[in-house]
Amino acid sequence: MPTTKPAVRQLLPLLAVALSLAACSPATDPVTIAVAGPLSDLRGRAMRQGAELARDEINARGGVRGRPIELRFADDSADPDVAARVAQRIADDPHVLAVVGHLTSSASVVAGQIYGAGPDPVVMLAPATSSADLSALTPWAFRLCPTDSSYGTSLARFARHALGARRAAIIFLATEYGRGIRTAFATDFARLGGTVVEADPYVPELASVEPYLQRMRRAGIDVLLLATEQGGAELALRQIRTVGLRAPVLGGDALAGLEEQGTLAEGLHVSTAYLPDEPSELNAAFVAAYARTFPAQRPDARAAGAYDAVTVLADAMASAGPSRASIRRYLSDLGQRLPAVAGVMGPIAFDSAGNSPARRVVIGTVRGGRLVLETGP
């Protein structure tokens, strides 16, 4: 009996340690996903909200194998230099198992190279990066949206078949995004029997595009493509009225959100990978949940892409295990060894280059301050 009390005294500290370890067991710790993009602007706000909604729904159902999802947000300001610093911090954090982001093409291409390098790469699942340079960038980079060529081709077909246009003009942002949409549009428009009579570059420092618009009006164009981001499109739409140009105006996915500008954007045709009025039960449930969580707001492609990204990453961790390598294997198998999974934007599957080959493009038209489904390509 004299040995009992010392034994108990020795066991008590060990028991306390065991209880402490159990309280922070990996089986109950959160699984962490980073969300990176221009979170301080409207594009990033939609992306963040879509990711948050997916997280909340998954956690309400019990999380991933009983572990809650934690989102860590990082703002890259749509700047490649900032994105590089953000990506390095994320890649160096062993708690982060995957990344939703980035949003803009230039930021994603720079960040994707960082995520795919080093001794412990991490998956980047981009919800809305359309640059062709993301294709096969690394085995760790995947995208949920179409490429620039898909957007440009769909706009060309819409211009010729739906609008009957024969003479087009283009104002394009002097970046990879703008040039990508311009090239795809011009190539397919010519193949369909149309002619691009003028194509002019735009840089954000440009105070006016009136000289371009005046020449286009005199050339008698039937349609104008704005292969720009929202700032350039707003400038052009204001000055179109000044010069009296009557041609219909088209734009790429970067112009989704301009419908909030009201009459300025009325009638604008936009190519996008997602519209909230697309018919599917899964999408209807998503749109309703989004409206309940963020009153008076409708999700756009960035919100839907981020929602799908968090959802499929949770599926990957639940099915293959919560590690960086297992997530990559699961994503690369989708559409190959594994069937595609359903998303609000459509089936989720990837080819060997990390693209979503089944992702389709739709055309939306701004009517009454809303971007509504017009037609398929």
Domain CATH for 181: 3.40.50.2300
- Please check whether residues 163 and 233 belong to one and the same domain: yes
Give the model confidence (pLDDT) of 229-259 as tens digits.
999 999 999 999 889 999 999 999 999 889 9
Q: In this structure, are residues 71 and 37 in contact, taking their beta carbons and an 8 Å threshold? A: no
Q: How far apart are CA 116 and CA 121, in angstroms?
A: 5
Q: In this structure, are residues 165 and 193 in contact, taking their beta carbons and an 8 Å threshold? A: no
349-365: average pLDDT = 92
Count CB-CB contacts under 10 A for residue 205: 5
pLDDT of res. 360: 85
pLDDT of res. 26: 64
Q: How far apart are CA 344 and CA 283, in angstroms?
A: 5
Q: How far apart are CA 325 and CA 321, in angstroms?
A: 9
Give the model confidence (pLDDT) of 84-138 as tens digits.
999 999 999 999 999 999 999 899 999 999 999 989 999 999 999 998 899 999 9
Q: How many domains does the chain have?
A: 2
- Please check whether residues 165 and 252 belong to one and the same domain: yes
**The domain containing residue 35 runs over which residues?**
31-146+278-361
Sequence-separated (6 or more) residues with CB below 8 Å from residue 303: 46, 47, 49, 50, 53, 290
308-330: average pLDDT = 98
Residue 266 pLDDT class (50, 70, 90 cuts): very high
% the chain with pLDDT above 90: 81
Q: Which residue shows structure tokens 């093409």?
A: 105
Nearest residue to 99 via CA among 336, 309, 266, 364: 309
Give the model confidence (pLDDT) of 19-55 as tens digits.
343 444 567 899 999 999 999 988 899 999 999 999 9
Residue 358 pLDDT class (50, 70, 90 cuts): confident
Nearest residue to 31 via CA among 123, 95, 88: 95
The number of residues in the chain equals 377
Which three-class secondary structure state does DSSP give residue 318? helix
Any domain includes 22: no
pLDDT of res. 375: 53
Any domain includes 47: yes
Any domain includes 62: yes
Distance of CA 28 to the CA centre of its chain: 30
- Please check whether residues 163 and 263 belong to one and the same domain: yes
Q: Which two tokens stand for residue 188?
A: 């397919």
Using the 3D structure, point to which of 272, 301, 320 is the last residue of a domain.
272
Nearest residue to 291 via CA among 49, 100, 60, 63: 49
Any domain includes 10: no
Q: How far apart are CA 357 and CA 238, in angstroms?
A: 36
Q: Which two tokens stand for residue 52?
A: 């948050």
Q: Which residue shows structure tokens 């006016």?
A: 208
Any domain includes 24: no
The DSSP result for 202-213, as a single string, is E-TT----HHHH
- Please check whether residues 35 and 122 belong to one and the same domain: yes
Q: What are phi and psi of 151, to 5 degrees?
A: -65, -45
- Please check whether residues 96 and 134 belong to one and the same domain: yes
Any domain includes 372: no
